[in-house]
Amino acid sequence: MPKPSDSILPTLLDRHHKRLLEDWFIQQQGTGAAVATGDDAETRAHSVRFLTELRKGLASGELDGIEGAGWSGMREVLDDISRAQALKGFSPSQTAGFVFSLREPLFGLLRREVGDETSRLAEEMLMVALLLDRLVLYTTEVFQKSREDVITRQQQELLELSTPVVRLWEGIVAVPLIGTLDSNRTQIVMENLLQQIVTTGAQIAIIDITGVPTVDTLVAQHLLKTVAAARLMGADCIISGIRPQIAQTIVHLGVELSVTSKASLAGAFELALRRLGKTVVDRAPAKPVAE
Amino acid sequence: MEQIPILMVGDCLLVSIQVDMHDQLAMALQDSLMTKIVETGARGVMIDISALQFVDSFIGRLFSNIASMARVLDAATVVVGMQPAVAITLVELGMTLSGVKTALNVDRGLALIRRMIAVEDGRGRREA
Amino acid sequence: MVAEKHETMPVSTPEDIVRVRRGVRSHAINIGFSLVDQTKIVTAASEIARNTLDYGGGGSLRIEVVRHGVRRGLKLVFADQGPGIPDVERALTDGFSTGRGLGLGLSGAKRLSNEFDIKSAPGQGTIVTLVRWK
- pLDDT tens by residue, A85-121: 777 777 778 878 888 888 888 888 888 888 788 888 8
Q: What is the pLDDT of residue A177?
A: 81
A198 touches chain B (CB under 8 A): yes
Question: How many beta-carbon contacts under 8 Å exist across A and C?
Answer: 12
Element holding A48 (H helix, E strand): helix A40-59
The whole-angstrom separation of Cα C58 and Cα C74 is 22
Q: What is the mean pLDDT of residues A210-234?
A: 83
3-state secondary structure A176-235: EEECCCCHHHHHHHHHHHHHHHHHHCCCEEEEEEEECCCCCHHHHHHHHHHHHHHHHHCC
How far from each other are the two terminal CA atoms of chain B, in whole angstroms? 45
Classify residue B90: in a domain, yes or no. yes
Range list of β-strands (E), A38-197? 166-169, 172-178
The whole-angstrom separation of Cα B28 and Cα B24 is 6
Q: Chains with ≥3 Cβ pairs under 8 A against A?
A: B, C
| B88, B97, B109: residue with CB nearest A194 | B88
Residue C98 has pLDDT above 70, yes or no: no
Contact A230 B91 (CB under 8 A): no
Burial B52-81 (b: 16+ CB within 10 A, else e): bbbbbbbbbbbbbbbbebbeeeebbbbbbb
Q: What is the pLDDT of residue C130?
A: 94
- Other CB atoms closer than 10 Å to residue C32's CB: what's the count? 10
Classify residue B88: in a domain, yes or no. yes
Residue C97: band (very low, low, confident or very high) from pLDDT cuts 50, 70, 90: very low
The whole-angstrom separation of Cα C35 and Cα A91 is 33
**In the CATH scheme, what architecture does the domain A4-154 have?**
Orthogonal Bundle (1.10)
CA dihedral over A8, A10, A15, A19, signed as positive or negative? positive
C107 touches chain B (CB under 8 A): yes
Q: Which domain holds residue C31?
A: 2-133
What type of residue sits at position B100? V
CA A7 to chain centre: 39
The whole-angstrom separation of Cα A13 and Cα C124 is 50
Ranges of each domain in chain A: 4-154, 166-275
Lowest mean pLDDT among A2-11, A165-174, B101-110: A2-11
Q: What is the pLDDT of residue A39?
A: 62
Element holding B14 (H helix, E strand): strand B12-16
Q: How many domains does chain B have?
A: 1
DSSP states of B44-61 as a string? EEEEE-TT-S---HHHHH
Element holding A53 (H helix, E strand): helix A40-59
Q: What is the pLDDT of residue B9?
A: 86
Residue A254 has pLDDT above 70, yes or no: no
**Alpha-carbon dihedral of residues C95, B34, C42, B57, nearest 10 degrees?**
0
Q: Which domain holds residue B84?
A: 6-127
Classify residue B14: in a domain, yes or no. yes
* Mean pLDDT over each residue of chain A, to the nearest integer: 81
Residue A184 has pLDDT above 80, yes or no: no
The whole-angstrom separation of Cα B109 and Cα B81 is 9
Most B CBs within 10 Å, among C39, C55, C116, to test the B interface: C39
Q: Which residue in chain A has the smallest CA separation from C70?
A: A142
Element holding B6 (H helix, E strand): strand B6-9
CATH number, position B87: 3.30.750.24
CATH number, position C34: 3.30.565.10
Most A CBs within 10 Å, among C36, C39, C64, C70, to test the A interface: C70
A191 touches chain C (CB under 8 A): yes
Residue C115 has pLDDT above 60, yes or no: yes
Residues C83, C122: contact at Cβ < 8 Å?
yes
- Closest alpha carbon to B47 in B71, B23, B12, B21: B12
- What is residue C55's three-state secondary structure? coil
Residue B128: band (very low, low, confident or very high) from pLDDT cuts 50, 70, 90: low
Q: Which CATH superfamily does the domain covering A166-275 fall into?
A: STAS domain (3.30.750.24)
Contact A145 C36 (CB under 8 A): no
- What is residue B12's three-state secondary structure? strand
Contact A67 C2 (CB under 8 A): yes
Residues of A in contact with C72 (CB under 8 A): none
Q: How many domains does chain C have?
A: 1
